[in-house]
Amino acid sequence: MKERNTYLSSASIKEQGRTAYYKMLESVRQGELIQVRRGVYANIDQLSGNMIDINAIVPDGILCLWSAWSIHQLTTSMPQAFHVAIKRDRKVTAPSFPKVELHHYTESILNIGVTCMEIDGFDIKLYDVERCVCDAVKFRNKVGIDICSEIINNYLERPDRNLSKLMDYARLLRVGTILEKYLQVKL
């Protein structure tokens, strides 16, 4: 586990035999391992970092909204939980610690702008910068106009911005006309 920086699953330990499984349970009793959710365990070092193994907790989950905005440095606000996007009809049990907020998307928009990034040794799927800006516009009434404005301003200051890609995503996510109005004011 320490070599690969991945969470342990009880199924993978059982494949190694009963002795390995009982050693894992003893590590849990002694506090060396912490049960993240049923069948998934991590050590203290993994949970004390800034990132967790999202794929172990929510398989095929994608970091979105506050978590992705923070990683892409689009906002100065720190997320209070890990915001993870999943398919709308999927049932997932979120652990009590670390706090994970699930956001359900339809399959047609779930995979728009997904990229993979290595953060703290974990391979994490998250939305790219342009998708994050579109999400800020889409959820502007829930997150606040001030946060939406901050995200757009920070995006426009980036040298690697791609306005054509941004507008393509905005049309797919049905926020194209609203984003155009914002950009006319800002540019």
What mean pLDDT, rounded, does the chain reach?
A: 90
Binned at pLDDT 50, 70 and 90, residue 4 comes out as: low
User: What pLDDT, on a 0 to 100 scale, did the predictor assign at position 159?
Assistant: 95
**For residues 120 and 150, which has the higher predicted lDDT (pLDDT)?**
150
The answer to whether the beta carbons of residues 84 and 61 sit under 8 Å apart is yes
Predicted confidence (pLDDT) per residue in 81-93, tens digit? 999 999 999 998 8
Binned at pLDDT 50, 70 and 90, residue 1 comes out as: very low
d(CA 154, CA 143): 16
Q: What percent of the chain has pLDDT over 70?
A: 95
Predicted confidence (pLDDT) per residue in 68-77, tens digit? 999 999 998 8
Binned at pLDDT 50, 70 and 90, residue 49 comes out as: low
**For residues 9 and 115, which has the higher predicted lDDT (pLDDT)?**
115
Q: Where are the domains of the chain?
A: 8-48, 54-186
What predicted TM-score, i.e. pTM, was given to this entire model? 0.78
